[in-house]
């Protein structure tokens, strides 16, 4: 009985062993599982690929959305910028308006109205003591269209108790001519010399230097046409010419068609390093003078000069500021030399005169807002012996002055100035004190060199 | 005299040939033009980092440069109101007058901050269109670069592709740099500074700096002693990290205030050339961030 039990056990063992194998061999469950796994993997791979593709599509869409969002932001910002920079009101085209208020208080000992030896033909001299409104002015300027720019200045002048409104400037200028060419027409400050083309409130001293007073009665204002050309060079070079038909100085009128005065001028300038800049110029003015009196008297009352007048002006400016930054300290040296030769008749006599003048001034800004300046100006005549014993007699000592000034600017728009003048225009010297204010309202003025 | 004649002759001979003549008011726009146009532009820059853009004068040399320019690139928003209109009119160059293709104002293409609600000069030298110092936010530079590249292509259509390629290249490098800068900026958020003038408004806005006061009481008006004393009293409480100024600003009031507050004076480069390390737009922001980071313990 023992053996068959064993056999049974053996069989059972084998059966167990093989039975399992047989079972596997019959249904192949592992392969099935593998297949299933592989199938699943294939399905998942496909799904993953699909998902990846979808993600890529979604990403591209997102990118597009993002860039179009960025674009939208840009467009929106452009729109905002557009609406904030534009202005729709009716006065949007009003010209730029600037008002300058100028007045002074003065203590003048000996007032003079004419410089000995000169037939100035207009107002000159230190003016009266006390309060004077000076030359307050209103300036309007704007583009006229795409070809022209216009500018007008009305000055309020206080003349011995009477206030006059004068058209100081009224001109238009081309803006679209090619090759650096500009043409200006109307009443304008002549481009000759240096100081002449500046408004008086931009000056560094309260009054104009003596040669300006002697030769132009302060400032040469031309009624006519000016052409300027700037050369296309590295070095600044400007050449200009003017024709003047005006009734004012220097010609005091023109004949029927030809202008009474014409001029030529050239300016050049540049930088020397970062801290220095300069400008120099030479100008020529020719005038057919008609009935120029000694002062501002009515024509025909006092003796007058009629004849040819030739004037040459040489000018220079040199400026220094540390590294070219004038905010704290800066220095300016400026001078002009005038020489005028005239031939004609005065009070029925043939005259031939040779007159000259110059000024030299230095302005130093020593701390922000504060400047001191010194100026020497003088004029000399060689009128000939014909005038001995008259107002036009040559004087031994040239009429001259020494001026000191101190001014303070709180901002770009306000300035207070104190000036002392040691005046030796007449044989008797005079000490003069002047206090002036210059205030700008409205449109920002230009920082001319 | 011979030197003068020689200089004149040389000037005539060295007149422009083919590249665009560009007149940039400020160094940052000169640098941007160079990034976008490379050799295709000859750039003249009016200002240095040591000159106040509000206060420049229309010098003869600048009139000469404007005369030759095909393109004028300036900030606008009235920053250059005292001298640019004068330069444009004196130069007699119709290609760059306002409205022409050769007249490009950067501030026209970005949103301005500190737009005044009350326009009155008693508020100081304010600009009606808003704060003009727009270049100190690099995101503004990107916007301006796009418009400037368009303008270059308009003026010089034969090289349009060249400008577009350079723009793409610049914007890519610029955006990458912005990512780095903005990461660095997180540490600077809330840093309290006292600038001399409102020159750093856009920088502060971008970095999240806290501008608690300016040394100037009103823009463009030097601070009075009384104002500085009041400011000192106020600032003693908050302890700012630095009194900040541009290289061109008057150092006196900032030094006075910083000494009494016992804080450093920080001269930020403000523009290209304002610091020895700042040679282009990238180093401008790199150095500015480094200098600000150095403030922190």
Query: Complex ipTM, two decimals?
Result: 0.81
Mind listing the pLDDT tens digit for each residue in B196-231?
999 999 999 999 999 988 898 888 888 888 989 988
CB distance B82–A74 less than 8 Å? no
**Structural domains of chain B sorted by starting position, each given as residue range(s) with its CATH number in brackets:** 13-179 (3.40.50.1980), 188-293 (3.40.50.1980)
Boundary-marking domain end, from A24, A51, A68 = A68
Handedness of CA B221, B226, B232, B234 (dihedral sign): negative
How far apart are alpha carbons A375 and A308 in whole angstroms?
31
- Note if the bond before A279 is cis, omega within 30 degrees: no
Residues of B in contact with A279 (CB under 8 A): 60
Q: What's the pLDDT at A81?
A: 65
Residues of A in contact with B216 (CB under 8 A): none
| Residue A78 falls inside a structural domain | no
The pTM of the full predicted model, rounded to 2 decimals, is 0.82
How far apart are alpha carbons B75 and B52 in whole angstroms?
13
What is the secondary structure of A44-88 as a DSSP string? HHHHHHHHHHHHHHHHHHHHHHHHHHHHHHHHHHHHHHHHHH---
Residues of A in contact with B222 (CB under 8 A): 368-369
CB distance B55–A230 less than 8 Å? no
Q: Is B184 on the interface with A (CB under 8 A)?
A: no
Same domain, A104 and A60: no
Q: What's the pLDDT at A375?
A: 97
Cβ within 8 Å of B, A 1-40: none
Same domain, A21 and A168: no
**pLDDT per residue rounded down to tens, chain A (449 residues):** 444 454 444 444 444 444 454 445 456 788 888 888 888 888 888 788 788 878 878 877 777 776 677 667 767 776 666 555 545 566 777 888 899 999 999 999 888 888 888 877 777 888 888 888 877 899 999 888 889 999 999 988 777 667 788 899 999 999 989 889 999 999 999 999 999 999 988 999 999 999 999 998 889 999 999 999 999 998 999 999 999 887 777 777 666 677 889 999 999 999 998 899 999 999 999 998 888 876 555 555 567 888 899 999 999 999 999 998 888 899 999 999 999 999 988 877 888 889 999 999 999 999 988 999 999 999 999 888 777 777 778 888 899 999 999 999 988 889 999 999 999 998 889 999 999 999 998 887 778 88
Interface residue of B64, B91, B216 to substitute, partner A, most A CBs within 10 Å: B64
Residues of A in contact with B61 (CB under 8 A): 235-236, 269-271, 277
Cβ within 8 Å of B, A 279-298: 279
pLDDT(B98) > 50: yes
Pick A446's closest partner by Cβ from B86, B94, B110: B86
How far apart are alpha carbons B197 and A425 in whole angstroms?
48
Q: What's the pLDDT at A383?
A: 84
Smallest CA-to-CA distance from A332 within A180, A449, A185 is with A449
Q: How many CB atoms lie within 10 A of CB A299?
A: 13
Same domain, A272 and A398: yes
Q: What's the pLDDT at B176?
A: 92
CB distance B64–A234 less than 8 Å? yes
What are the angstrom distances between the C-alpha of B86 and each of A42, A315, B66, B97, B232?
78, 21, 11, 11, 40
Q: How many domains does chain A have?
A: 2
| Residue A58 falls inside a structural domain | yes
Q: What's the pLDDT at A6?
A: 47
Q: What's the pLDDT at A304?
A: 80
Q: Is A325 on the interface with B (CB under 8 A)?
A: yes
Residues of B in contact with A149 (CB under 8 A): 89
Residues of A in contact with B102 (CB under 8 A): none
Q: Which two tokens stand for residue A385?
A: 């012996």
CA–CA min distance B65, chain A (Å) = 7
Same domain, A110 and A228: yes
Residue A5 parent element (H or E): helix A2-27
CB distance B121–A177 less than 8 Å? no
3-state secondary structure chain B: CHHHHHHHHHHHHCCCCCCEEEEECCHHHHHHHHHHHHHHEEEEECCCCCCCCCCCCECHHHHHHHHHCCEEEECCCCCCCCCHHHHHHHHCCHHHCCCCCCEEEHHHHCCCCCCCCCCCHHHCCCCCCCCCCHHHCHHHHHHHHHHHHHHHHHHCHHHHHHHHHHHHHHHHHHHHHHHHHHHHHHHHCCCEEEECCHHHHHHHHHHCCEECCCCCCECCECCCHHHHHHHHHHHHHHCCCEEEECCCCCHHHHHHHHHHHCCCEEECCCCCCCCCCCCCHHHHHHHHHHHHHCCCC
Q: Is A176 on the interface with B (CB under 8 A)?
A: yes
- Cα of B262 vs its chain's centroid, Å: 29
Q: Is B101 on the interface with A (CB under 8 A)?
A: no
Same domain, A34 and A143: no
| Residue A449 falls inside a structural domain | no
CB distance B15–A278 less than 8 Å? no
| Residue A210 falls inside a structural domain | yes
Residues of A in contact with B14 (CB under 8 A): 234
Interface residue of A172, A411, A440 to substitute, partner B, most B CBs within 10 Å: A411
> Which residue does chain A place closest to B143, by CA atoms?
A74
Longest dimension (CA), chain A: 180
Q: What's the pLDDT at A36?
A: 84
Residues of A in contact with B16 (CB under 8 A): 232
CB distance B60–A279 less than 8 Å? yes
Query: Is A270 in contact with B60 (CB distance < 8 Å)?
Result: yes
CB distance B89–A175 less than 8 Å? yes
Query: Is A263 in contact with A190 (CB distance < 8 Å)?
Result: yes
pLDDT confidence tier of residue B122, bands split at 50, 70 and 90: confident
Q: Is B125 on the interface with A (CB under 8 A)?
A: yes
Pairing type for strands B242-245 and B265-267 reads parallel
Pick A236's closest partner by Cβ from B64, B99, B112: B64
Q: Is A80 on the interface with B (CB under 8 A)?
A: yes
CB distance B59–A84 less than 8 Å? no
CB distance B86–A448 less than 8 Å? yes
Reduce the DSSP state of residue A1 to 3 states and report it.
Answer: coil
Residue with the two structure tokens 């006390």: A130
How far apart are alpha carbons B158 and B151 in whole angstroms?
13
Q: What's the pLDDT at A296?
A: 56
Interface residue of A82, A93, A233 to substitute, partner B, most B CBs within 10 Å: A233
CB distance A230–B67 less than 8 Å? yes
Same domain, A273 and A400: yes
CA–CA min distance B13, chain A (Å) = 9
How far apart are alpha carbons A304 and A297 in whole angstroms?
10
Interface residue of B14, B59, B75 to substitute, partner A, most A CBs within 10 Å: B59
Exposed, middle or buried, A158 (CB in 10 Å: 0-12/13-18/19+)?
middle
Q: How many CB atoms lie within 10 A of CB B114?
A: 16
Residues 6+ apart with CB under 8 A from B140: B110, B134, B202
Query: Is B39 in contact with B19 (CB distance < 8 Å)?
Result: yes
Pick B83's closest partner by Cβ from A179, A325, A446: A446
Q: Is A83 on the interface with B (CB under 8 A)?
A: no
Exposed, middle or buried, B53 (CB in 10 Å: 0-12/13-18/19+)?
buried
Query: Is A427 in contact with A412 (CB distance < 8 Å)?
Result: no
Mind listing the pLDDT tens digit for each residue in B135-164?
999 999 999 999 999 999 999 999 999 999
How far apart are alpha carbons A190 and A326 in whole angstroms?
28
Cβ within 8 Å of A, B 57-76: 57-61, 63-64, 67-68
Same domain, A49 and A188: no
How far apart are alpha carbons B215 and B244 in whole angstroms?
9
Give the mean model confidence (pLDDT) for residues B94-108: 92
Q: What's the pLDDT at A84?
A: 52
CB distance B97–A267 less than 8 Å? no
> Which residue does chain A place closest to B110, by CA atoms?
A81
> Which residue does chain B place closest to A367, by CA atoms?
B250
How far apart are alpha carbons A228 and A311 in whole angstroms?
20
Question: What is the count of residue pairs from A and B with beta carbons less than 8 Å apart?
Answer: 155
Cβ within 8 Å of A, B 33-52: 48, 50-52
Same domain, A286 and A165: yes
pLDDT confidence tier of residue B84, bands split at 50, 70 and 90: very high
DSSP type of residue A326: T
Q: How many CB atoms lie within 10 A of CB A197?
A: 18
Pick A176's closest partner by Cβ from B57, B94, B121: B94
Same domain, A17 and A106: no
CB distance B93–A448 less than 8 Å? no
Q: Is A87 on the interface with B (CB under 8 A)?
A: no
Smallest CA-to-CA distance from B251 within A325, A277, A365 is with A325
Q: What's the pLDDT at A388?
A: 79
Same domain, A234 and A320: yes
pLDDT(B42) > 90: yes
CA–CA min distance A386, chain B (Å) = 40
| Residue A145 falls inside a structural domain | yes
* Domain CATH code at residue A344: 2.40.160.10
Same domain, A63 and A101: no
Q: Is A67 on the interface with B (CB under 8 A)?
A: no
| Residue A373 falls inside a structural domain | yes
- Whole domain around residue A434: which residue ranges? 97-442
Please state whether B9 falls in left (phi above 0), alpha (psi between -120 and 50) or beta: alpha
Smallest CA-to-CA distance from A274 within B244, B193, B59, B16 is with B59
CB distance B249–A178 less than 8 Å? no
Residues of A in contact with B199 (CB under 8 A): none
Same domain, A178 and A287: yes
How far apart are alpha carbons A169 and A154 in whole angstroms?
7
Cβ within 8 Å of B, A 136-175: 143, 146, 149, 173, 175
How far apart are alpha carbons B182 and A332 in whole angstroms?
46
């Amino acid at each position: 009985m023992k053996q068959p039990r064993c056999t049974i056990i053996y069989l059972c063992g084998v059966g167990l062993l093989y039975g399992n194998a047989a079972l596997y061999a019959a249904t192949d469950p592992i392969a099935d599982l593998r297949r299933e796994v592989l199938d699943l993997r294939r399905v998942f791979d496909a799904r993953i690929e699909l998902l990846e593709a979808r993600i890529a599509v979604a990403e591209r869409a997102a990118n597009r959305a993002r860039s179009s969002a960025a674009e939208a932001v840009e467009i929106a910002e452009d729109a905002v910028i557009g609406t904030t920079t534009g202005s729709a009101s009716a006065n949007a085209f009003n010209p730029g308006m600037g008002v300058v208020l100028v007045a002074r208080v003065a203590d003048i000992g000996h007032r003079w109205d004419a410089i000995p030896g000169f037939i100035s033909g207009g107002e000159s001299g230190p003016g009266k003591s006390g309060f004077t409104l000076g030359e307050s002015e209103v300036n309007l300027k704007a583009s006229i269209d795409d070809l022209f720019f216009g500018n007008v200045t009305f000055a309020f002048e206080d003349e011995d108790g009477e206030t006059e409104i004068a058209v100081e400037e009224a001109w238009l200028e081309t803006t679209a001519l090619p090759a650096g060419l500009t043409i200006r027409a109307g009443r304008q400050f002549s481009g000759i010399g240096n100081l002449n083309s500046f408004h008086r409130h931009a000056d560094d001293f309260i009054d104009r230097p003596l040669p300006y007073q002697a030769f132009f009665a302060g400032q040469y204002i031309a009624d006519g046409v000016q052409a300027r050309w700037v050369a296309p060079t590295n070095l600044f070079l400007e050449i200009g010419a003017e024709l003047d038909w005006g009734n004012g100085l220097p010609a005091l009128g023109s004949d029927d068609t030809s202008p009474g005065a014409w001029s030529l001028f050239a300016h050049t300038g540049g930088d020397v390093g970062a801290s220095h800049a300069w400008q120099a110029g030479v100008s020529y003015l020719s005038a057919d003078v008609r009935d120029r009196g000694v002062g501002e008297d009515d024509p025909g009352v006092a003796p007058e000069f009629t004849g040819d007048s030739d004037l040459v002006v040489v000018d220079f400016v040199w400026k220094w500021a540390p590294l070219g930054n004038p905010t704290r300290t800066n220095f300016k040296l400026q001078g002009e030399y005038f020489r005028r030769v005239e031939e004609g008749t005065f009070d029925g006599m043939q005259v031939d005169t040779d007159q000259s003048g110059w000024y030299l001034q230095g302005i130093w800004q020593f701390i922000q807002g504060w400047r001191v300046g010194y100026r020497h100006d003088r004029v000399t005549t060689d009128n000939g012996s014909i005038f001995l014993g008259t107002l036009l007699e040559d004087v031994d000592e040239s009429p001259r002055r020494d001026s000191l000034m101190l001014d303070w600017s709180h901002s770009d728009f306000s300035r207070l100035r104190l000036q002392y003048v040691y005046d030796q225009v007449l044989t008797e010297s005079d000490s003069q004190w002047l206090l002036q204010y210059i205030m700008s309202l409205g449109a920002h003025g230009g920082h001319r060199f | 005299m011979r030197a003068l004649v020689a200089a004149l002759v040389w000037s005539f001979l060295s007149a422009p040939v083919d590249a665009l003549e560009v007149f940039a008011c400020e160094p940052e726009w000169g640098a941007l033009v160079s990034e976008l146009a490379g050799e295709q532009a000859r750039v003249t820059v009016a200002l240095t980092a040591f000159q106040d853009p509000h206060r420049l004068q229309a010098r003869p040399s600048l009139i000469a440069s404007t005369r030759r320019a095909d393109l004028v690139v300036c900030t606008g928003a009235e920053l250059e109101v005292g001298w640019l209109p004068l330069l444009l009119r004196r130069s007699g160059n119709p290609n760059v007058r306002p409205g022409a293709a050769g007249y490009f104002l950067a501030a026209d293409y970005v949103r301005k901050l500190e737009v005044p609600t009350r326009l009155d000069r008693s508020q100081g030298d304010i600009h009606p269109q808003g704060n003009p110092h727009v270049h100190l936010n690099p995101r503004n530079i990107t916007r301006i670069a796009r418009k400037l590249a368009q303008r270059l292509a308009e003026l010089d259509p034969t090289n349009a592709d060249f400008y577009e390629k350079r723009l793409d290249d610049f914007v890519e490098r610029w955006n990458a740099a912005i990512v780095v800068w903005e990461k660095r900026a997180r540490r600077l958020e809330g840093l309290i500074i006292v600038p001399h003038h409102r020159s750093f408004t856009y920088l502060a806005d971008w970095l999240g700096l806290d501008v608690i006061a300016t040394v100037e009481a009103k823009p463009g008006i030097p601070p009075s002693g009384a104002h500085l004393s009041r400011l000192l009293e106020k600032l003693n409480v908050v302890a700012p990290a630095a009194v900040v100024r541009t290289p061109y600003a008057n150092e006196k009031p900032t030094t006075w205030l910083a000494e009494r507050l016992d804080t450093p004076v920080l001269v930020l480069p403000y523009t290209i050339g304002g610091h020895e390390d700042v040679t282009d737009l990238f180093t401008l922001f790199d150095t500015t961030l480094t200098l600000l980071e150095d403030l922190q313990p």
